[in-house]
Chain A
Amino acid sequence: MRMPVTAAQTVGPFFSIGLNGRLAPPPRPPQPLMTGCIRDGDGAPVRDAVLEVWTLANPHAVHFQRTATNDGGVFAWALGEDSTALLELTGCWTVLLFLRGLLRPLLTRVYLPSHLPPAHDLVWSRIPLARRATLIAQEIPSAVPAYRWDIHLQSTLDGSAETAFFDCASAE
């Protein structure tokens, strides 16, 4: 008998009470990092978001880290010493986004301009051409690898495009 999957509910504004114990320490420059700002449909920074970042550690296991935005809506996660090796394996980081105002999490990905997937890639090929740029981080001039990737929950009047978000399931 099939059991129905439990319904999701928003993480709410006070998640740090329950989740902070397992937040990754923020990266300290000159540590390699990915950073950016999350903005809502008004372009206002989202100060209460949790990001869960999943990268392939080997073909069967996923490295997991969790980070939160600060009062400026800014997040950052450390890329680690082995980030280049990991990238050869995955080509991207997968991000689950939780925040007040989201009744269920959003799934997205971030790619590096130097490691864009081939045209036939199972995921990349499904992203409309016009939206791919929203998933490509920009290099920050720095002694160590550092990248900027902003997340826009909706497109805004100043011309920022809504970030591409996914719905992942086995069957179409």
Chain B
Amino acid sequence: MNAQRIFDRARADTQPPLCYPPYTSTAKRAPLEPLIPIPPTALELGSPLVPLHTCPALCDLTQAGRAPPLGERIIVSGHVTDEDGKPLVGVLIELWQANAAGRYKHLHDTHDAPIDPHFEGSGAVVTDADGAYRFITIKPGAYPWRNHPNAWRPAHLHFSVFGACLLTRLVTQMYFPGDPLLAHDPIFMSIANRAARERLVAPLDWSLTVPEFGLGYRFDIVLGGRSGTPGEQA
């Protein structure tokens, strides 16, 4: 029951701040007043009636077009758990990404790289009885953005994750190991704690890699929330 669950205030260094000057868009968009601390109510703890049916599950992004998309096929898989390590079943994961050339299929993406007519770049799955999920897709390309002169985003997948209630809601990005752009990316570097940052980098995993098919990357996700035992110290 969510009523017995404990949701701790995020440790300041393991989550990004709202205002982070190297990410220039935060300057005019991040609130300047301090956030007002409030306790959870039924609204923040209630289970969402998410209309899952409005969009069919799509775990293989390479099958959405009439022909396979260009690029390096990969498998991205992992488990979704709470802070106690308990697998979370039936969690909706939405994914979106650029194509292999680093171009989004979006009206406002003006990067001069080709659109792949066979790649939409969106997927959605629900975690199974073990809290596991698995996508097949292609590795996205790096792309330029206008944050600072010669700014490039490292290759990344956008993840949106729905847990048991509003307080577990997570939108994040997954990165690839060994990417030299990571250290120069203000969005990635906004997380001050190095270990917390590195957890967004999905390691290559041989058990997920399918011979003659594609490399596998493991991206485990931990949503907020833990069971409360009376007297336990946070």
Residues of chain A touching chain B, judged by Cβ–Cβ distance below 8 Å, are: 1-19, 21-22, 40-42, 44, 46, 48, 52, 54-57, 59-64, 90, 92, 94, 96, 98-107, 122-123, 126-128, 131, 153-155, 162-172
Docked Cα-Cα span, A3 to B88, in Å, equals: 13
Q: Given A11-B158, A54-B48, A171-B8, do A103 and B190 touch, yes or no (CB 8 Å)? A: yes
Please give the distance in Å from A126's CB to the nearest CB on chain B. 6
Say yes or no: B15 contacts A165, CB within 8 Å: no
Residues from chain B with a CB closer than 8 A to the CB of A59 are: 42, 46
Q: Given A41-B28, A101-B28, do A14 and B109 touch, yes or no (CB 8 Å)? A: yes
Say yes or no: A165 contacts B36, CB within 8 Å: yes
Residues from chain A with a CB closer than 8 A to the CB of B106 are: 13-14, 16-17
Known: A14-B96, A122-B41, A123-B38. 18 other contacts (CB 8 A): A3-B222, A4-B199, A5-B15, A5-B222, A14-B104, A17-B104, A17-B120, A18-B123, A22-B94, A56-B43, A57-B49, A62-B47, A126-B37, A126-B38, A127-B36, A164-B33, A166-B36, A168-B40
B9 partner, pick from A12, A18, A46, A171, beta carbons under 8 A: A171
Residue B30 lies at the interface, judged by CB distance under 8 Å to chain A: yes
Say yes or no: B169 contacts A96, CB within 8 Å: yes
Say yes or no: A22 contacts B170, CB within 8 Å: no
Please give the distance in Å from B131's CB to the nearest CB on chain A. 12
Interface of A, secondary structure class, is loop
Segment 190-231 of B: residues with Cβ below 8 Å from A = 190-191, 195-197, 199-200, 221-224, 226, 228
Q: Given A14-B104, A100-B25, A104-B15, do A7 and B196 touch, yes or no (CB 8 Å)? A: yes
Say yes or no: A101 contacts B32, CB within 8 Å: no
Docked Cα-Cα span, A58 to B184, in Å, equals: 47
Say yes or no: B48 contacts A64, CB within 8 Å: yes
19 contacts across the A-B interface (CB closer than 8 A):
A3-B81, A3-B82, A3-B83, A7-B196, A9-B188, A16-B106, A54-B48, A54-B166, A59-B42, A101-B26, A126-B37, A128-B36, A153-B31, A166-B36, A167-B37, A167-B38, A168-B37, A168-B39, A169-B37
Segment 17-55 of B: residues with Cβ below 8 Å from A = 17-18, 20, 23, 25-33, 35-44, 46-51, 54-55
B196 partner, pick from A4, A102, A165, A172, beta carbons under 8 A: A4
Q: Given A8-B16, A19-B160, do A122 and B28 touch, yes or no (CB 8 Å)? A: no
Say yes or no: B10 contacts A5, CB within 8 Å: yes
Say yes or no: A104 contacts B9, CB within 8 Å: no
Which has the most chain A C-beta neighbours within 10 Å: B18, B84, B221?
B18
Residues from chain B with a CB closer than 8 A to the CB of A123 are: 38-39, 41
A167 partner, pick from B26, B36, B54, beta carbons under 8 A: B36
Please give the distance in Å from B78's CB to the nearest CB on chain A. 10
Please give the distance in Å from B233's CB to the nearest CB on chain A. 10
Say yes or no: A10 contacts B187, CB within 8 Å: yes
Say yes or no: B96 contacts A40, CB within 8 Å: no
B49 partner, pick from A64, A104, A164, beta carbons under 8 A: A64
A6 partner, pick from B27, B42, B47, B221, beta carbons under 8 A: B221
Q: Given A13-B108, A14-B104, A61-B47, do A103 and B187 touch, yes or no (CB 8 Å)? A: yes
Residue B182 lies at the interface, judged by CB distance under 8 Å to chain A: no
Q: Given A17-B105, A56-B42, A59-B42, do A5 and B14 touch, yes or no (CB 8 Å)? A: yes
Residues from chain A with a CB closer than 8 A to the CB of B169 are: 52, 96, 105
